């Protein structure tokens, strides 16, 4: 069986739809509930079945009340309860044929078949008129897509974000950094834009051969910590979690579980990071994004800020 991986979706016996949120899916699928069948739901599947979309807090409460056996840091669905698996790369043909803007974006990115996909509401066939495009690009091909988005914006083939859109992104993310600092970091990531007014992200996901090396499991909590360190490797800084290998007297890496701080710094830059320190074997890792909104936690590139 093809492994279930980050950004796939699964359904359970009741038709609940979950976004796969980790690579560690060996014993059960780690995911977050997103859609539940509901007679008066605002999302309508082509089959006619209606669904309600759940935000993060609502989803955890729903699972706690109705399916406590799945409850945890992530929702853990055992494989015997997995009825369908939706894979962004395998469903891309269907999505492209139904959505001209996705077709245009895929053509502009121009990557080989099997290296790009589409997740979120489009994958589940539960999109509405306000739905974003959540593109997924696998492994090293993500960096090719990033370069093509950058060139597309510069050539006018892809729309950059307006001031109003940046404000909306900032309000949605609710980061622990000022607006101007947030935008300064975001604008050099080249991982988002607009196609004919529709917002899109390009999301990094590991190739199948690289899944085994993904960080997994919670370590022993040491406590909250703020550090300053030099980044030695940022090649997985757009992954989930984002990984920054660093030079520091006690901490060996910084991991971000919030998309806000993915791609936040380049190799060779000095960062300031605040989060929760955990012991993993003989290493200490600083974890950013220990809560959904990462209250009090952040990553900044001091090099980018000229500090």
d(CA 271, CA 283): 19
Look up the CATH number of domain 215-301: 2.40.50
**Third-level CATH fold of 92-208:** Beta Polymerase; domain 2 (3.30.460)
Q: Tell me which residue of 32, 41, 39, 27 sits closest to 12, measured CA to CA.
A: 32
* 176 within 8 A of 296, measured Cβ to Cβ: yes
φ, ψ at 97 (rounded to 5°): -65, -25
Q: Which pTM was predicted?
A: 0.93
Residue-level pLDDT, tens digit, the chain, 307 residues: 789 999 999 999 999 999 999 999 999 999 999 999 999 999 999 999 999 999 999 999 999 999 999 999 899 999 999 999 999 999 999 999 999 999 999 999 999 999 999 999 999 999 998 899 999 999 999 999 999 999 999 999 999 999 999 999 999 888 999 999 999 999 999 999 999 999 999 999 999 999 877 777 788 999 999 999 999 999 999 999 999 999 999 999 999 999 999 999 999 999 999 999 999 999 999 999 887 777 899 999 999 999 8
d(CA 61, CA 52): 14
d(CA 32, CA 270): 33
* 173 within 8 A of 298, measured Cβ to Cβ: no
Taking only the tens place, the pLDDT of each residue in 44-92 is: 999 999 999 999 999 999 999 999 999 998 999 999 999 999 999 999 9
Phi-psi region of 15 (alpha: psi -120 to 50; beta: other; left: phi over 0): left
Q: Tell me which residue of 247, 242, 272, 254 sits closest to 181, measured CA to CA.
A: 272
> In this structure, what token pair is assigned to residue 296?
């009090």
> In this structure, what token pair is assigned to residue 233?
């490797």
Provide the pLDDT for residue 1. 74
Q: Tell me which residue of 92, 124, 87, 90 sits closest to 106, measured CA to CA.
A: 92
C-alpha distance from residue 24 to each of 30, 199, 244, 276, 289 (Å):
7, 30, 19, 21, 18
CB-based contacts of 216, cutoff 8 Å, min separation 6: 22, 23, 24
DSSP lists the bridge partners of residue 183 as none
d(CA 40, CA 49): 10
CB-based contacts of 277, cutoff 8 Å, min separation 6: 221, 222, 223, 224, 225, 251, 284, 285, 286, 287
3-state secondary structure of 240: coil
Domain parsing of the chain, residue ranges: 9-86, 92-208, 215-301
- Which residue is listed with tokens 């729309």? 159
- Which residue is listed with tokens 């974890």? 287
3-state secondary structure of 79: helix
- Which residue is listed with tokens 């950058």? 150
DSSP H stretches of helix in the chain? 56-66, 92-98, 100-109, 121-124, 141-154, 163-173, 179-187
């Amino acid at each position: 069986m093809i492994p279930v991986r980050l950004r796939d979706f699964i359904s359970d016996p009741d038709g609940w739809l979950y976004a796969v949120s980790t690579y560690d899916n060996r014993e059960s699928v780690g995911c977050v509930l997103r859609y539940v069948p509901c007679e008066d739901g605002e999302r309508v599947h082509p089959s006619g079945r209606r669904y309600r979309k759940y935000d993060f807090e609502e989803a955890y409460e729903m699972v706690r009340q109705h399916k406590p056996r799945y409850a945890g840091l992530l929702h853990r669905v055992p494989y015997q309860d997995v009825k369908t698996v939706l894979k962004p790369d395998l469903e891309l043909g269907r999505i492209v044929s139904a959505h001209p803007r996705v077709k245009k974006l895929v053509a502009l990115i121009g990557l080989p078949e099997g290296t790009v996909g589409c997740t979120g509401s489009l994958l589940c066939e539960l999109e509405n008129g306000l739905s974003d495009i959540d593109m997924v690009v696998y492994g090293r091909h993500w960096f090719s897509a990033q370069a093509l988005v950058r060139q597309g914006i510069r050539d006018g083939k892809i729309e950059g974000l307006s001031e109003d859109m940046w404000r909306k992104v900032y309000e949605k993310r609710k980061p622990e950094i000022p607006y101007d600092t947030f935008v300064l970091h975001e604008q050099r990531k080249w991982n988002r834009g607009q196609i004919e007014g529709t917002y899109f992200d390009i999301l990094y996901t590991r190739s199948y051969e690289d899944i085994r090396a993904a960080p997994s499991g919670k370590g022993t909590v040491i406590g909250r910590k703020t550090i300053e360190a030099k980044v030695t490797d940022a090649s997985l800084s757009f992954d989930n979690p984002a990984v920054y290998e660093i030079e520091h007297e006690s901490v060996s890496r910084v991991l971000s579980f919030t998309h806000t701080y993915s791609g936040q710094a380049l190799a060779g830059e000095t960062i300031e990071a605040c989060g929760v320190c955990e012991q993993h074997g003989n290493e200490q890792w600083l974890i950013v994004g220990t809560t959904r909104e990462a209250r009090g936690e952040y990553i900044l590139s001091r090099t980018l800020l000229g500090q």
